[in-house]
């Protein structure tokens, strides 16, 4: 996760390259059906954080790749592109992040991190679709029920956005239990402190 976040932050810090270079890369990709050449071109565009170009080129490489193993390699790069693009756009452009994150999930439906980021995107002040937000936090819980973060995130939204204290407290208790079961005492304490400050009675185990 830290590597993905670092890439996303770097992407936001960089400006796009010259338009001539951008168009040249796509023209070069459209002029070949060689999957190896396309893969390398896609990697170059990904390194330049030209996400739309990299996506188009990787898709073209998959179309012309005759080998399943090589196709899997290109799909992994396509997945990485969607994931980094979605994370990098999340704070400033949540509407643009959503389709990128959804596309990444289609390629890797067991990535709990993506469900969390989608939940964050729908909860963003520029989107405010709390029903869908809760759905994706619940999907994270489905993928990783033994982790507390999904419960905690869902509880925060239920408490602060839709004012459902009862359900929120239930989620907080589940988050604390899951964190403790996983041996993550630091997260359990963080969840507990937040919940208590929000008015939840202290569980007996912590009294």
In tens digits, what is the pLDDT along the chain, a chain of 207 residues? Answer: 555 545 554 444 443 444 445 668 889 999 999 999 999 999 999 999 999 999 999 999 999 988 888 999 999 999 999 999 999 999 999 999 999 999 999 999 999 999 999 999 999 999 999 999 999 999 999 999 888 999 999 999 999 999 999 999 999 999 999 999 999 999 999 999 999 999 999 877 776
pTM strictly above 0.95: no
CB neighbours of 151 closer than 8 A, spacing ≥ 6?
141, 171, 172, 174, 175, 178
Nearest to 12 by CA among 79, 96, 77: 96
Report the C-alpha gap between 53 and 83 in whole angstroms.
Answer: 15
Report the C-alpha gap between 10 and 165 in whole angstroms.
Answer: 38
Question: At what angle are helices 35-47 and 68-89 packed, to 10 degrees?
Answer: 20
- Residue 120: both structure tokens together: 């964050």
pLDDT confidence of residue 4 = 54
Write the Ramachandran bin of 34: left for phi over 0, alpha for psi from -120 to 50, otherwise beta: beta
Task: Sketch the domain layout of the chain as residue ranges.
Answer: 1-89
**Do 119 and 151 meet the contact criterion of CB atoms below 8 Å apart?**
no
- Work out the widest C-alpha separation in the chain, in whole angstroms: 69
Three-class secondary structure assignment of the chain: CHHHHHHHHHHHHCCCCCHHHHHHHHHHHHCCCCHHHHHHHHHHHHHCCCHHHHHHHHHHHHHHCCCHHHHHHHHHHHHHHHHHHHHHHCCCCHHHHHHHHHHHHHHCCCCHHHHHHHHHHHHCCCCCCHHHHHHHHHHHHHHCCCCCHHHHHHHHHHHHCCCCHHHHHHHHHHHHHHHHHCCCHHHHHHHHHHHHHCCCCCCHHHC
pLDDT confidence of residue 3 = 55
């Amino acid at each position: 996760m830290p590597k993905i976040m670092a890439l996303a932050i770097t992407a936001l810090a960089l400006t796009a390259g010259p338009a001539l270079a951008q168009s040249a890369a796509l023209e070069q990709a459209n002029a070949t059906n060689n999957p190896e050449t396309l893969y390398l071109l896609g990697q170059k565009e990904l390194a330049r954080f030209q996400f739309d170009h990299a996506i188009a080129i990787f898709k073209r490489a998959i179309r012309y790749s005759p080998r399943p193993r090589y196709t899997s390699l290109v799909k992994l790069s396509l997945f990485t592109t969607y994931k980094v693009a979605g994370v990098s756009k999340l704070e400033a452009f949540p509407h643009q992040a959503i389709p990128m994150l959804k596309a990444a999930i289609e390629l890797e439906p067991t990535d709990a991190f993506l469900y969390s980021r989608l939940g964050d995107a729908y909860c963003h002040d520029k989107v405010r679709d709390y029903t869908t937000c809760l759905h994706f936090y619940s999907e994270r819980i489905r993928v990783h029920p033994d982790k507390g973060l999904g419960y905690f995130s869902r509880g925060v939204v239920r408490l602060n956005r839709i004012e459902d204290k009862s359900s929120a407290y239930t989620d907080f208790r589940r988050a604390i239990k899951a964190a403790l079961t996983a041996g993550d005492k630091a997260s359990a304490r963080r969840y507990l402190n937040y919940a208590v400050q929000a008015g939840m009675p202290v569980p007996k185990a912590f009294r």
